[in-house]
Homo-oligomer: A and B are copies of this chain.
């Protein structure tokens, strides 16, 4: 397995999440070589603009480490995060025009960049590349639809709980297979309070208060520098089942 992968890519791709989870894993040797020969790495520190709204990006980027936020601004200065990119995710719309949102590093970020033309050429020639792109965009669409539900129908408490759980699951996904009894789960939020507010459609104060309430209830323990310890994951999940007590969820389909 590992041996086979060694052929696929250059040495510095071996430990790259883009290979294990992202686009590069879908490539054959020839394609991987072609792509890696024109790729280069870029670093951005937290807060730096990777590219601005309205610009046509001249390259595609795969996220290697860190978190990238996609933001939109309103005329009054409000901002809304419309997506978060994690390692393995892709930045830039294939065959698209100007970007409709700006991409900003939420943490320190390492990107693997490829010229637009090369990726588009690869996609036009390779069935698997175009298929991977289609699947990836479809996944992003489904995530966006989940977020629409969150923003449209959830209370502040539920939004916070959802966010914490999603961060937990994205970093401790192995717990699903092996439910260790270590019920003290340490997570790193990687977002400031302001960014959480922009992501969850709340104000910074509401975010702070809801986190304080969870802390007071003993559900979480807030650590320094955007870390937190989850002591009662069930309590977080319980807030999401907003069904009325003593009554199952209404199964009536509204027409």
Contact = CB atoms under 8 A, between A and B. Distances in A.
Interface string A18-31: 00000000000000
Given A77-B249, A82-B148, A93-B142, 7 more contacts: A47-B255, A76-B242, A77-B243, A77-B250, A77-B252, A100-B146, A148-B151
Contacts of A80: 148-149, 152-153
Nearest to A195: B254
Interface stretch (A7-15, A133-141, A173-181, A228-236): A133-141
Query: How many protomers of this protein does the assembly include?
Result: 2
A43 interface: no
Interface string A212-255: 00000000000000000000000000001111100001101111
A17 B150 CA distance: 33
A93 B138 contact: yes
Given A75-B243, A101-B145, A201 B151 contact: yes
B147 A148 contact: yes
A152 B201 contact: yes
B100 A142 contact: yes
Contacts of A146: 72, 100
Interface of A: 47, 49, 70, 72, 74-80, 82-83, 93-96, 100-101, 104, 124, 127, 130-131, 133-135, 137-138, 140-142, 144-149, 151-153, 194, 198, 200-201, 240-244, 249-250, 252-255
In the A-B complex, list the 5 residue pairs whose CB atoms are closest, starting with the nearest: A152-B201, A47-B255, A151-B151, A77-B250, A144-B144
Contacts of A96: 138
Nearest to A82: B145
- Which of A83, A137, A152 has the most CB atoms of chain B within a 10 A radius of its CB? A152
Given A74-B149, A152-B80, A131 B243 contact: no
A142 B133 CA distance: 15
A242 B75 contact: yes
Given A134-B130, A138-B137, A149 B72 contact: yes
A60 B79 CA distance: 36
A89 to B, nearest CB: 13
A144 B148 contact: yes
